[in-house]
Amino acid sequence: MNIIGTIAFAVSGSLVAIEEQFDLLGVFILGFVTAFGGGMIRNLIVGLPVANIWHQPSLFLTATITICIVFVLPYEWMHRWQRVVSFFDAIGLSAFAIEGATYAHHVHSTFATTLVAALMTGIGGGIIRDVLAGRKPLVFQSEIYAVWALFAGLCVGLGIVPVAPAQYALFVIVVVLRMISLHYGWHLPKKWTAAAGEHIHHDV
């Protein structure tokens, strides 16, 4: 799950950086913070040193190779970049949410910690990516996003997916649910204010 999530979020961060016309350094920075930001937040939640994130040379190499591949690919191949970003974002969300929840569950065995670890490991990297790219974080918009990370944490915390095969099945389910919710525009309720209505009126 860690490898899958790292690759997916490295692709997601790199594509956003390219779309925002970042230079090579910017692409690497955004790719890395997207891939590893959630893990750093998870370590804070479960009480591990944040510096532990640096003791993963294989994952850093994986992310580096992934970012390089994305950078050298012709941009024309990514003309549907938004759909590609959303797909890899869903993969990263699912993989990291399950990985974070499983790790927290094994370390603390508390339901609340498992849920919070799943949520922040799944969405942390994406939030940092969007902030650095000058975008409104996806998780705070109308789409259902963080809910699927909580769903993964719920399944892990309740012991529904105790073994690896079940976790991979959950991984696929969360990815599918995320893409379905994106396709059909599912969203959580939010309160419309007069200012929001005025903004919509001006846009029209």
pLDDT digit string (tens) for 134-158? 988 877 775 678 899 999 999 999 9
Task: Kindly state the average pLDDT of the residues 28-57.
Answer: 89
The count of domains in the chain is 1
Please say whether the beta carbons of 110 and 83 come within 8 A.
no
> Distance of CA 153 to CAs 2, 125, 133, 170, 185, Å?
15, 17, 28, 10, 23
Report the distance separating Cα 48 and Cα 68, nearest Å: 30
Distance CA 122, CA 97 (A): 4
Q: Of the ranges 1-5, 42-46, 72-76, which one carries the lowest mean pLDDT score?
A: 72-76
Return the amino acid letter for 145: Y
pLDDT tens figures, 69-125: 999 987 677 656 667 778 888 898 999 999 999 989 888 778 999 999 999 999 999
Range of the domain at 152: 2-203
Cα–Cα distance, 201 to 204 (Å, whole number): 5
More confident residue, 63 or 142: 63
Concatenating the DSSP letter of every residue in 49-98 gives -GGGGGS-HHHHHHHHHHHHHHHHS-GGGGTTHHHHHHHHHHHHHHHHHH
DSSP one-letter code for 138: G
Cα–Cα distance between 139 and 146 in angstroms, integer? 6
Instruction: Answer yes or no: are the C-beta atoms of 174 and 5 closer than 8 Å.
Output: no
Look up the pTM and report it.
0.82
* Spatial CA neighbour of 66 closest among 83, 81, 88, 50: 88
| pLDDT above 50 (res 204) | no
